[in-house]
Amino acid sequence: MNRTGLVIGLLIAAVIGVLFAAYPRLDIEISALFYNRQKDLFVVNSQSWALGLRAGARWLITLILAPACLAIIGKLIMPRRRMLVGSRAAVFLIVTMALGPGLLTNVILKDHWGRARPIDIAEFGGPLHFTPWWDPRGDCPTNCSYIAGEPSGGFWTLAPAALAPPQWRALAYGAALAFGAAIGVLRIAGGGHFFTDVAFAGIFMFILIWVTHRFMFRWAADRVDDEAAERKLGEAGGAVHRALAALLRLLAPRPGKPS
C-alpha cells in the first residue's frame, strides 16, 4: 500500500463527497433503478438467491479471517509453539476487522448516524425522510444506513490483499475491490443502502487499512518485527496461563476443609 493509492483514495472520496453533497438526490435516483413502482418494492430484496449470496459472502469473509484468529488463540494456549501464520499478519487482519467493520461501521456510525435506509424513506413507500450522506440527523434510531455494513466487510478483504506476494498484489486488490463492490450493488439493489453508503464504506475501510498497514509494516517495523510480535504474544499466553493457574488455586478446596 503506497502513497499513490492513498492519494487516489482521498481524491475519490472528495469527488463523491462533493458531488453527492451538491446533488444529494442522486442517491435516490440510483436506488430508484432497482425499485419496482408497480409492485411497490425492491424486487431483489425478496429473492432467496440474494439472501444466499449475502450469507455466502459472510462465510467467505469468516474463512479468510479464521486462520489469523486460530493462530492467535493457539499462541495464547501454547505460548512456546511457533505460529503457523505470521504474527504481524495475524494481528493486522484481526485489528483491521475489529476497527473497521466492527468499531467504525457498526458501533460508531450505523448506530449514531440516523440516515434511513432506501427501503424506509417516503420516496420508496416508507415512513421516514431522506437525508444526504453528510447529515447525521435522520429519522433512523439504530442500525441505520450510513455506512454499509456488509460492504464494509467485503472491502475489508483489502487487508489480506495487502499481504499477498508482490507479484499477485495488484490482482488481489482488484479482487477485493470487486468483491466489496459486488456486495454493495446487491445491497443497493435490495434497498438496504444508498450508493454513498457503499462508496464511503469502501473509502473508510481502505484508509483505515492503509494507515494500519503503514504503521505495522513500515513506521513501526524497526521496533516490532515478526519475531518480536510473536514473543509478545507468547508472553501474553504465559500471563494467561499464570492467571488461570492462580484462579484454580483459589478455587481449589483447602486441606482439612469439606469440598
Task: Just give the CATH number of 3-8+33-237.
Answer: 1.20.144
Give me the half-sphere count of Cα atoms (radius 13 Å) on the Cβ side of residue 27: 33
Produce one character per residue of 14-52: b if its CB has 16 or more CB atoms within 10 Å, e if not.
Answer: eebbeebeeebebbbeebeebbeeeeebbebbeeeebee
Task: Confirm if 119 and 128 have CB atoms less than 8 A apart.
Answer: no
Q: Give Cα separations from 129 to 8, 114, 132, 139, 179 (angstroms).
A: 33, 10, 10, 7, 30
User: Considering Cα of 162, then 154, then 134, then 114, what sign does the dihedral take?
Assistant: negative
DSSP reduced 3-state for 211 = helix
Rounded to an integer, what distance in angstroms lies between the CA atom of residue 24 and that of residue 133?
A: 8
Residues 41, 34: contact at Cβ < 8 Å? no
What is the per-residue pLDDT across 193-251, written as a single tens digit (0 to 9) for each?
999 999 999 999 999 999 999 999 987 766 777 787 778 787 887 887 788 888 888 88
For the chain, 259 residues long, give each residue's pLDDT as a single digit of tens. 788 989 999 999 999 999 999 999 999 999 999 999 998 899 898 799 999 999 999 999 999 999 999 999 999 888 888 888 889 999 999 999 999 999 999 999 999 999 999 999 999 999 999 999 999 999 999 999 999 999 999 999 999 999 999 999 999 999 999 999 999 999 999 999 999 999 999 999 999 999 999 999 987 766 777 787 778 787 887 887 788 888 888 887 776 655 4
DSSP string computed for 3-16:
HHHHHHHHHHHHHH
Q: How many other C-beta atoms lie within 10 A of the C-beta of residue 180?
A: 26
Cα separation, 159 vs 180, whole angstroms: 12
Contact status, residue 140 vs residue 127, Cβ threshold 8 Å = no
Beta bridge partners of 42: 35
CB 89 within 8 A of CB 98: no
Helix (H, G, I), strand (E, B) or coil at 121: strand
Residues facing residue 36 across a β-bridge: 41
Q: Which amino acid is at 18?
A: V
Q: What is the DSSP letter of 237?
A: H
